[in-house]
Copies of this chain bind each other. A is one copy, B any other.
Amino acid sequence: MPKRALTPELIAATALELGDRDGDPAMSMRRIAAELGCDPMAIYRHFANREALLDAVADLALAGVAAPGPDLRWDQRLSELLTEVRGAALRHPGIAAHVAARPPLGANGRRLSAAITGALADAGLTPSGVVQSTQALIAYVAAALAMTVKAGARDERWHRVSAVLGAGMPVVGSEEQFAYGLRLMINGIRGEAAGGGQGSVHSPIRE
């Protein structure tokens, strides 16, 4: 097989493939290099360090996620988009934890963040509310994703949480659980947009 010229794109795609196939410990500089048939140091020509490479791989994992069209209501757009982000990350189990752990600064991350802020602006939040809600939603998706990843594989510890909290309940990390929490956030945002202004931390909508 002819050795293709090394590019950032090829390196990231190879790392993603390797992670999908053999799990995230397979995404070491050495093993990625071996898969590419090059010296480990050759990768450092294209990425400053492992962190930078994983940023690119994490962003690549979100490439397939499309922002929902503007014909949907803001809350539907949000829940569809974030559910798809979660799904896309889970389709790449090797990098999912990294997607959850790092800020969405890549091309796809910025594109999807912009879609979130767009939906929130349509919800009628203040500019400050838009930014803060975006960050809160990203935080929630990241955490739910991290939980799902940990609950998967053979790490049964998160399953024990379900046992501790209550029997017969939706399993930690399930899509059901994700949707529930997302609904809480969106309902909270709706309340914020409708009534509550700045200092409503302890003032309920109705007592």
Which A residues have a C-beta under 8 Å from some C-beta of B?
73, 75-76, 79, 100-105, 110, 113, 117, 127-136, 139-140, 142-144, 146-147, 150, 157-158, 160-162, 164-166, 169-170, 172, 176-177, 179-181, 183-192, 194, 196, 200-202, 204-206
Find out whether the CB atom of A205 lies under 8 angstroms from the CB atom of B190.
yes
Find out whether the CB atom of B103 lies under 8 angstroms from the CB atom of A157.
yes
Find out whether the CB atom of B202 lies under 8 angstroms from the CB atom of A157.
no
Chain B residues contacting A183 (CB-CB under 8 Å) are 188, 192, 196, 200-201
With A157-B102, A160-B105 as contacts: A184 and B192 at CB distance below 8 Å: yes
Chain B residues contacting A164 (CB-CB under 8 Å) are 105, 110, 113
Find out whether the CB atom of B177 lies under 8 angstroms from the CB atom of A188.
no
